[in-house]
Structure 1
Amino acid sequence: MRIIVANDYEAMSKKAAHIIVSQIVLKPNCVLGLATGSTPIDTYKELINLYKMGVIDFSDVTSFNLDEYFGLPKNNPQSYDYFMKANLFNHINIDDEKINIPNGMTDNVVRECAEYEKKIEAAGGIDLQLLGIGRNGHIGFNEPSDHFEPKTHLVQLDEDTIKANSRFFDSIEDVPTKAISMGIGSIMKAKKILLLASGAEKADAIYDTVKGPITPKVPASILQLHPDVTIIVDKEAASRL
């Protein structure tokens, strides 16, 4: 596990973007696992800037998103499909046919989850998985539990997660209570993992991830067992290390 402490959110975001760019340069047809939420927004902005400068080409890249709210249509401004298009996909030359996001409006969630796993496998697996982390240590939407979920599945969102995400909605009642998420096993199959965290409110989660026991009560702690993990944090998120 490699830990990089950046001065601030901006420096963290640029460092993360450059690691992703290096992956694409090394393997232009790589498979990227992508995350949503506020943490990667500036990383995506930097990727867009580098694309516009001609530094990087996304035309052969395949992407798989970690998760999607269950019950939100793609055109809802709070869906992760909408988020990815607004914050990255609409501004780069990625092939629409190579973008994969769970279908939150599926009428057969078991089938949707199984097919998502098959798509990842058929693509050759994820070369680099980008992660954020929740205050409760969740990665993707894998909430604290009594076990590590192996595959893509339907999640009942934790109360803390719903509260944290309510800032994106008009009211907490509007926040979906369920989501489709890659499982911990799915994430751990990625060849490389890049986790980002910013702000003092993430300091406890980062400490527990890096120095705490490996437990499904802190889902991100499983990353201690992965052979190639880079964690980039700003000084506030690193304050307990």
Structure 2
Amino acid sequence: MKIESFTNSNLLSKKAANLIFSTLIKKPDSLICTASGNSTVKTYQTLTERSIDNPEIFGKLNILKLDEWGGIEMDHPNSCETFLQKMLIEPLKISSSKYISFNSNPIDKKEECERISNLVKKKGPIDLCILGLGINGHIAFNEPGNYLNPGCHIATLSKSSLKHSMAVKAHPKPSFGLTIGMGDILQSKQILILLTGPDKSKIAKEFLSQKITTQLPASFLWLHANTTCLINEEDIHIK
């Protein structure tokens, strides 16, 4: 794993955006899996700013939504869908044919997971998977437990996840999660994980210990041959 630390979030987001941009230069029709939440905001803002002068770079880009809060409407202000539409899909002018997105409130949850799984197989593997680190060590909604799911699945949300600001502000509350699995993530050609947030120091330290356990799903990224970890020293105090 390549690890880089930055003195502030602006420098980290610039580095992350550069990495994404470089991926698209090499492969314009890349499938990029995108996380939602505070960890990614400045990175996406920096990326969309760069798209103003380089719109042609993003014309063939395919985006996969990493996960979604289940049981709320797609256009709910606190859905991952609303976040990504605002931060990436609309600014980058991504067409619906190039966007793979979990339905947040499907009639058949299992069928929805199968639909996303089939689309990932058709357009994948994922060229770049962008992740944040959950306060309990989860990535996407792959929650800590005795085992991890390899493919797209319906997730039982942990108490920790339900304390996330997006879930706390949602009415009604999310009742489940929809997410790609650990196998999907680890089959990505490249992974980028962003360690930001003042409440993440403890779990970041555990993650960086390199001890691999299903109780800290992000630790499995140490098994991946091409993962980059960017740390915001303003928030994350390891020493």
TM range (shorter): over 0.9
Residue type at the aligned position of 2:185 = I
| Distance in structure 2 (CA, Å) of the matches to 1:199 and 1:14 | 17
Aligned to 1:15: 15
| Distance in structure 1 (CA, Å) of the matches to 2:109 and 2:93 | 30
Displacement after TM superposition at 1:78 (Å): 1.1
Residue type at the aligned position of 2:162 = I
Give the match's secondary structure for 2:57.
coil
Aligned to 1:164: 164
| Distance in structure 2 (CA, Å) of the matches to 1:168 and 1:86 | 20
| Distance in structure 2 (CA, Å) of the matches to 1:70 and 1:91 | 25
Map Cα deviations across residues 98-148 of structure 1 (whole Å, 9 max, x no partner): 111111221111111112111111003100000001111110011111112
Pairs within 5 Å for 1:1-241: 1-54=1-54, 57-165=57-165, 169=169, 174-240=172-238
Displacement after TM superposition at 1:87 (Å): 1.3
Moved more, 231-240 or 194-203: 231-240
- Whether the 8 Å contact between 2:78 and 2:166 is mirrored in structure 1 is no
Q: Which runs of 5+ in 1 are unaligned?
A: none
Moved more, 84-93 or 132-141: 84-93
Give the match's secondary structure for 2:147.
coil
Give the match's secondary structure for 1:91.
coil
Moved more, 118-127 or 208-217: 208-217
- Whether the 8 Å contact between 1:166 and 1:175 is mirrored in structure 2 is no
**What's the RMSD between the two structures over aligned residues?**
1.7
Residue type at the aligned position of 2:205 = Y
- Whether the 8 Å contact between 1:63 and 1:99 is mirrored in structure 2 is yes
Give the match's secondary structure for 1:19.
helix
- Whether the 8 Å contact between 2:64 and 2:100 is mirrored in structure 1 is yes
| Distance in structure 1 (CA, Å) of the matches to 2:14 and 2:55 | 14
| Distance in structure 2 (CA, Å) of the matches to 1:117 and 1:210 | 30
- Whether the 8 Å contact between 2:167 and 2:173 is mirrored in structure 1 is no
Displacement after TM superposition at 1:55 (Å): 6.5
Matched-pair identity in %: 29
| Distance in structure 2 (CA, Å) of the matches to 1:167 and 1:120 | 26
Displacement after TM superposition at 1:80 (Å): 1.2
Displacement after TM superposition at 1:237 (Å): 4.7
Map Cα deviations across residues 29-61 of structure 1 (whole Å, 9 max, x no partner): 111010101110111101110001227621111
**Alpha carbons of 1:215 and 1:26: their partners in 2 closer, same or farther (altered >3 Å)?**
same
**Alpha carbons of 1:200 and 1:75: their partners in 2 closer, same or farther (altered >3 Å)?**
closer
| Distance in structure 1 (CA, Å) of the matches to 2:165 and 2:217 | 18
Give the TM-score of the pair, scaled to structure 1: 0.93
Moved more, 120-129 or 196-205: 196-205
Q: Which runs of 5+ in 2 are unaligned?
A: none
